[in-house]
Amino acid sequence: MIFNDAGLKLIREFEGCALKSYQDQAGIWTCGWGTTGKDIGPDTQWTQEEADERLDAHIQEVCKEVLALLVNQNLSANQFSALVCFTYNVGCGNLKQSTLLHCINTYHIDDAANEFEKWDKCAGVVNAGLVRRRQAERDLFLASHQRQ
């Protein structure tokens, strides 16, 4: 399965790129293209090149994590890319426990598409940005594309 340019475009669009760290809506220190982790704090600052390198590395990591969880290996590039974009945002642990993954792994693709929209909250509150993101991920997931 291939992570495609449409998935990359979604991540870049919804994460945005901040070269100086900030606290996201959940209070988590974030830098670059939505990157979080123990090495990111209030004084973290990156160059554009560092942010782009971290994005690429994080996407590769998420792709591997998603592939390891998939029983249904017959996803299109768009479906896989939408799932990677989703996981980039919510984390692999959340994907692993999700009904979304269960639906994909039991070949209920239409049901899986409807699960994206349920992940629209930040700290228990519906977030307009997440509503838009989940709709975009769902749209990509449902976009017809040749199976890869």
User: Contact at 8 Å (CB) between 90 and 127?
Assistant: no
SS3 for 35? strand
CA atoms of 2 and 64, how far apart (whole Å): 11
* 15 in active site: yes
Pick the catalytic residue: 15, 50, 61, 137? 15
The C-alpha torsion from 51 through 36 and 129 to 26, rounded to 10°, is -150
Quickly count: other Cβ atoms within 10 Å of residue 135's Cβ: 13
Q: How wide is the angle at C-alpha 131 spanned by C-alphas 127 and 137, nearest 5°?
A: 140
Buried b (16+ CB within 10 A) or exposed e, 6-32: bbbebbeebbeebeebeeeeeeebbbb
Residues belonging to the active site: 15
